[in-house]
Structure 1
Amino acid sequence: MVELTCTDFGGTGDLLIVGPSLGTSVEALWGPCIQHLTPSFRVVGWDLPGHGRSAPAVGFDLADLADTLRKITAELATGDSLRRSGSELAVSNSWYAGVSVAGAVGFALAVDPGPFAGIATLAAAAKIGEPAAWYERAALVRTASTSALIAGSVERWFAPGFTDRDPRTAARLLESLTDADARSYAATCEALARFDGRERLGTATVPVLVAAGRHDRVVPIELARDSADRLPGATSYVFEGSAHLPPAEEPAAVAGVLTDFFQRGVR
């Protein structure tokens, strides 16, 4: 089981686990959105291996990340229950929202949810890109570090005009990319190359929101919808002002959609 480091952003209410895209830290990506979520949720974010606060790691698959998240979330939820109700072990609902690679992990969780009562995937699909391209990027990063990806990431990550509207957030996200451990980043690319969860989506047992960015070229709307169509009763949504990083690009809108979706899940 791969080790992941989590950040507790505080808040009250049900537990919400949030995950980042490849090359970003959870704090840089979700930070603008957190203040809109904490009135309704206790928000805990996790970092990919070698990103943000997580230690470097190699040789893992997305299924390993899902296993670790089920374990972490079960422990957090039980701890919340003990604090709220003494010795009573009934836990409140736990929810999951992931972007890009963390969204792909969300599709794996949807068919084996463990403690999660519902899943939201943002800018993600059950198969993202082609294996050859991921292996090529992994080789590039091992040779030239993640700094070689800066220019391409500006084009992939952000909707037109975002870097002018919010240069501070854009700069923080790009800084998290250059800070990422090259071997761990490459290992994540290879995990994405191996991952294809499409055939299992029909067995999902919890509600799933599949949200796309209107300007996303990494996971176009049609690709996200293909995953949604394979899920029983999935909810689809499009963030009109986003490309590949909706929580940073449209933080209030993302928080509103997630809050509505998860709160509907307990009615």
Structure 2
Amino acid sequence: MSIPAIKATRLTGPGAPVLIAGPSLGTTALPLWNRAAAALDTFTVIGWDLPGHGASPAAGDGFSIDDLAAAVADLVRGARRSGDIAAGVPVFYAGVSLGGAVGLQLGLDHGDLFDGLAVMCSGAKIGDAEGWEERADTVRAQGTPTQITGSAQRWFAPGFMEREPAAAAALLHSLQDADRFSYAYCCSALANFDVRERLPDITVPVLAVAGAEDAVTPPSFADLIADRVTNGTAAVVNEAAHLVPAEQPAQTAQLLKDFFGAQYLEGI
């Protein structure tokens, strides 16, 4: 395995501090985060895409959650070196589902780069290995469109697709357009991810957020993370399932402003 190539997209204008926004499997940063990013008007929001999703090239080989975290860390370090992130400006991370798993790995392996982490609609272990490998085999053979119906049911709370058809369609198109092999590699990475016993080693402040109607990573997953990390807080977003930033962008932005703002003020 090697560190996969990922690309980042600036979702808002310049500001301080910086928020690195991570995706869920099958989504891309723009449709997942664009409305929440607009409400995060005091931050520079930079979204990154998974291999084979959106702006990031397809993966040529398998990778782990550790590798994805290393790729995000490289993005931050590169932005520091180039001056895209100015010296002294605080950097935060918020990731959804698989992107949240990457956030936990960042806390374990690269915590010195971040002033706070938000792990959203995610868990220290998500699903079971057999289920992920079965999905990987299906997508590898038949493509990502096989996942659209199931993902629509898991991703959105009841009524969202009718209330926000354009937002839902953009997210489902991201899934349809994802490279099948890269998606399968993501499934395999999740199959091998389990940091439940390592959570106490994360010392960066962590906000664990759950959608009240999320059947994949319910609020108990957020509670476990918040209870076990050194400095954790849990929050539940009502009328949301698995893609909280897209489903409830204003509430997402406020949660992040409140949590990261407190960390920022403490550091001044």
Find 2:246's aligned residue among 240, 248, 266: 248
For residues 60-139 of structure 1, what are the structure 2 equivalents within 5 Å?
60-80=63-83, 90-112=87-109, 113-139=111-137
CA drift of 1:138 comes to 0.3
What residue in structure 1 maps to residue 22 of structure 2? 19
CA drift of 1:223 comes to 2.1
What residue in structure 2 maps to residue 225 of structure 1? 223
Note the alpha carbon deviations across 1:210-237, whole angstroms, 9 max, x for none.
0000000110111222222211230100
Amino acid at match of 2:88: V
Contact 2:203 2:231 in 1 (8 A): no
Contact 2:208 2:235 in 1 (8 A): yes
Contact 2:12 2:38 in 1 (8 A): no
Q: 1:223 to 1:78 in 2, by over 3 A?
A: same
Amino acid at match of 1:99: V
Amino acid at match of 1:133: G
CA drift of 1:183 comes to 0.2
* Residue 259 (str. 1) matches residue 261 (str. 2): no
CA drift of 1:78 comes to 4.2
What residue in structure 2 maps to residue 87 of structure 1? none
State the aligned residue count.
Answer: 260
More off after superposition, 167-176 vs 11-20: 11-20
Mind listing any 5+ residue stretches in structure 2 that lack a counterpart? none
More off after superposition, 69-78 vs 96-105: 69-78
Q: State the alpha-carbon separation in 2 of the partners of residues 250 and 74 from structure 1.
A: 31
Q: State the alpha-carbon separation in 2 of the partners of residues 36 and 10 from structure 1.
A: 10
Amino acid at match of 1:196: D
4+ residue runs over 2 A deviation: 77-82
What residue in structure 2 maps to residue 47 of structure 1? 49
TM-score (norm 2): 0.94
Helix, strand or coil at the partner of 2:63: coil
For residues 83-232 of structure 1, what are the structure 2 equivalents within 5 Å?
90-112=87-109, 113-232=111-230
Amino acid at match of 1:204: I
* Aligned residues with identical type, % of pairs: 46
Q: State the alpha-carbon separation in 1 of the partners of residues 172 and 8 from structure 2.
A: 20
Helix, strand or coil at the partner of 1:124: coil
Q: State the alpha-carbon separation in 1 of the partners of residues 158 and 12 from structure 2.
A: 32
Mind listing any 5+ residue stretches in structure 1 that lack a counterpart? 85-89
Q: 1:130 to 1:252 in 2, by over 3 A?
A: same
Amino acid at match of 1:34: A
CA drift of 1:21 comes to 0.2
Amino acid at match of 1:64: D
Helix, strand or coil at the partner of 2:58: coil
What residue in structure 2 maps to residue 238 of structure 1? 236
Q: State the alpha-carbon separation in 1 of the partners of residues 43 and 244 from structure 2.
A: 19
CA drift of 1:167 comes to 0.4
Note the alpha carbon deviations across 1:22-57, whole angstroms, 9 max, x for none.
0001111111211101x2111110000000110011
Q: State the alpha-carbon separation in 1 of the partners of residues 175 and 52 from structure 2.
A: 10
Contact 2:6 2:71 in 1 (8 A): yes
Q: State the alpha-carbon separation in 1 of the partners of residues 214 and 82 from structure 2.
A: 38
Contact 2:28 2:174 in 1 (8 A): yes
Q: State the alpha-carbon separation in 1 of the partners of residues 82 and 254 from structure 2.
A: 27
Helix, strand or coil at the partner of 1:10: coil
Helix, strand or coil at the partner of 1:120: strand
TM-score (norm 1): 0.94
Q: 1:77 to 1:241 in 2, by over 3 A?
A: farther
More off after superposition, 1-10 vs 249-258: 1-10
